[in-house]
């Protein structure tokens, strides 16, 4: 079997994917979509759906995800539908898309690339490295220091759990679904 791009160049793949996601998430895509007439909630849902489609496409391109093309088409179609859903439907779609995008990036791209770089027996280093990067991506300057630290620690622990779940089940959709369910529950339970 031919080596995937990620197996040949794991560091380049991890850096390229993280860089792309940091750029795309920082772009005011939701604002642009609002400018063409979508509601704020619909625009946010469409932006998150496009991120999920980007994650699936990247994972398929780098040879890390079988069947990525089908998932890409489903996510792109769902993102288009979510843009026109009511506020609650759009927000719940945003929760689902965020879970898919982050878990494809974390469990489907970042962890496998770091594991490949870590050599034999490097699973723990790869797990901690991926969790640290995932946690750092959740650091925001808008929270007080104590809350920001708690958020980063929780994100790191959450990442470890999702990677464990993906490794245990051998399926990427399981942590993506769990992440989406967590985000949805958080949305429904917070005032």
Q: For the chain, give every domain's residue range.
A: 5-189
pLDDT reading at 72 higher than 60: no
> pTM of the entire structure?
0.76
pLDDT of residue 168: 92
3-state secondary structure of 132: helix
Does the CA dihedral 96-100-101-103 come out positive or negative? positive
pLDDT of residue 1: 45
pLDDT reading at 61 higher than 50: yes
Residue 64 pLDDT level (bands cut at 50, 70, 90)? low
pLDDT reading at 33 higher than 80: no
CB 44 within 8 A of CB 30: yes
Q: In Å, how far are 34, 92, 112, 125, 189 from 117, measured between CA atoms?
A: 42, 36, 9, 10, 40
**To the nearest 10°, the Cα dihedral for 164, 138, 117, 58?**
90
């Amino acid at each position: 079997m031919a080596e995937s791009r990620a197996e040949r160049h794991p560091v380049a793949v991890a850096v390229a994917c993280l860089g792309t996601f940091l750029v795309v998430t920082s772009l005011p895509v939701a604002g642009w979509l609002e400018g063409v007439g979508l509601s704020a909630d619909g625009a946010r849902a469409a932006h998150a759906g496009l991120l999920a489609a980007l994650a699936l496409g990247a994972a398929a391109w780098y040879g890390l995800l079988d069947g990525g093309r089908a998932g890409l088409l489903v996510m792109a179609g769902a993102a288009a539908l979510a843009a026109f859903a009511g506020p609650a439907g759009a927000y719940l779609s945003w929760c689902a898309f965020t879970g898919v995008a982050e878990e494809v990036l974390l469990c489907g791209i970042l962890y496998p690339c770091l594991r490949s770089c870590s050599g034999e027996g490097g699973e723990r280093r790869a797990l901690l490295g991926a969790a640290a990067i995932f946690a750092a991506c959740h650091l925001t300057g808008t929270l007080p220091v104590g809350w920001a630290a708690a958020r980063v620690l929780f994100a790191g622990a959450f990442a470890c759990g999702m990677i464990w779940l993906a490794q245990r089940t051998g399926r990427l959709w399981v942590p993506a679904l769990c992440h989406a369910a967590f985000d949805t529950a958080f949305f429904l339970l917070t005032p």
